[in-house]
Amino acid sequence: MNGGPDDLDEVTRWALRARDGDPLAQSAFVRATQADVWRLAAALVDPGAADDLTQDTYLRAFRALDTFEARSSARTWLLGIARRTCADHLRQVIRRRRLENRLAEAAAVTGGFETDAVGLHGAADLVRRLPDERRSAFVLTQLLGLSYEEAAAVEDVPIGTIRSRVARARSELVTEVTKALAV
């Protein structure tokens, strides 16, 4: 972001004051951004994990606050941290599942996990089924209301990539809804 302190949005000003040790600004920063961080975590991972992921996001953010230079808005910066926190969590879940599967195979356990035959439990489930990159772009722009430019900054990709991911996500969601209605 260019310009002086007057050009900054309120959340970014709070982040800068929080960086300088102002405890009231720290509280205001969290209050102003917590709902968006939680919604992103709930959409990217799972509503059941969103509280913990939100807390982890703020732990990471406050540890890194001294490096925040307001080159982007604090909201964009924080949502980038939230996205990486969710990605790290998913990688950990995948590693744990792989380990469990290897242990199960080694123990020669038979049977498997049952899956839902229909698998359609509402819009949230449909969004969760989108590939990670499309889901993230869709959630950032369509659910959290970020501009394509802000979402591109959060995802660290060109704006055209965000546009195409959102378009593909919409197309996939329409296809899935159409299939569900045909049943």
Indicate the domain borders of the chain.
7-115, 120-182
Reference 134, options 172, 88, 160; nearest CA is 172
* Per-residue pLDDT, 117: 37
Decide: pTM greater than 0.85. no
Fold classified for 120-182: Arc Repressor Mutant, subunit A (1.10.10)
User: What is the model's pLDDT at position 127?
Assistant: 84
Query: CATH classification of 7-115, choosing from 3.40.190.10, 3.30.450.20, 2.60.40.10, 1.10.1740.10?
Result: 1.10.1740.10
pLDDT digits (tens, 9 = 90+) for 97-118: 765 555 555 543 334 333 343 4
Q: Tell me how crowded residue 172 is: count the other CB atoms within 10 A of its CB.
A: 18
Rounded to the nearest 10°, the torsion over CA 13, 19, 20, 22 is 70
CA distance linking residue 17 with residue 33, whole number of Å:
15
Per-chain mean pLDDT for the chain: 84
Q: Which tens digit of pLDDT belongs to each residue from 134-161?
A: 998 998 888 888 899 989 988 889 999 9
